[in-house]
Amino acid sequence: MDNKLSQLRRDYKLKSLDIQDVSENPVEQFKTWFDEVLKSETLEPNSMSLATVSPTGMPSVRTVLLKGLDERGFIFYTNYKSRKGRHIAENPKAGLCFNWLELERQVRVEGTVERLPYEESKAYFDSRPFDSRIGALASEQSAVVHGRSQLETIFRQFREEFENKEVPMPKNWGGYVVKPELIEFWQGRSGRMHDRLEYCLENGLWSIRRLAP
């Protein structure tokens, strides 16, 4: 097993990345890359790794889905009482990572995290499929459960209760926006001489610099 892992290699040759090729605004550059990802038919193109840190300094990472992007930053939704929600309440900073292997690309984001306004979270919640709304009601995310049957029983009860009715958004559920302070774009290159461009927010303005691979 160890030998097989050490021999796994791939030479990246699809594209290059240079400062003169990118937008001065990293959010606009992200949108450009994301449009290309959508055209590539990548599975779950909006999936992103979300890293948070506990009050004791222990990092934790998981995959969530990007559900919005505007001038404020990167938007996702979750249970406020989940592990990530508790971490953010104590330390409102986070990291994101998008890994698009089909295009040999990666984007990293670092920034502060804020809750979305109630009205915005409610509008998104109401747009979700019925079963997704029921799931948000039924699951106390990250809480210990005694078995799958317990979850399915609660889900079924809520499903029957709210069939043909408006599903209320749980008080402990809603959106967050990661407001970027650093965004790095990574393009795989041959011989591990990858292209890395890092945008840093300083005094309200974005600066761009190239990093060694």
- CATH code where residue 97 lies: 2.30.110.10
8 A C-beta contact, residue 105 and residue 96: no
Q: Active site includes 192? A: yes
Q: Which two tokens stand for residue 6?
A: 């050490």
Q: What values do phi and psi take at 162, rounded to 5? A: -110, 15
Per-residue pLDDT at 3 exceeds 80: no
Residue 173 in domain:
yes
The domain containing residue 70 runs over which residues? 10-211
Whether residue 136 contacts residue 173, with contact meaning beta carbons closer than 8 Å, is answered with yes
- Domain assignment present for residue 4? The answer is no
Structure confidence at residue 15 (pLDDT): 94
**Closest by Cα among 175, 107, 172, 171 to 141:** 172
* Least reliable range by pLDDT among 11-15, 76-80, 107-111, 190-194: 11-15
Task: Provide, for the chain, the percentages of residues in helix, strand and coil under a 3-state DSSP scheme, each rounded to the nearest 5.
Answer: 30, 35, 35
Kindly state the average pLDDT of the residues 92-113: 97
User: Does residue 81 carry a pLDDT above 80?
Assistant: yes
| CA–CA separation, 47 and 91 (whole Å) | 23
Buried b (16+ CB within 10 A) or exposed e, 33-55: bbebbeeeebeebbebebbbbee
5 part of a folded domain: no
Res. 155: pLDDT tops 80: yes
Residue range 145-157: mean pLDDT, rounded: 91
Out of 62, 192, 209, 210, pick the active-site residue.
Answer: 192
99 in any annotated domain: yes
pLDDT for residue 25 is more than 90: yes
- Residue 208 pLDDT > 80: yes
Q: Determine the pLDDT at residue 204.
A: 94
Domain count, the chain: 1
Residue 209 pLDDT more than 80? yes
137 assigned to some structural domain: yes
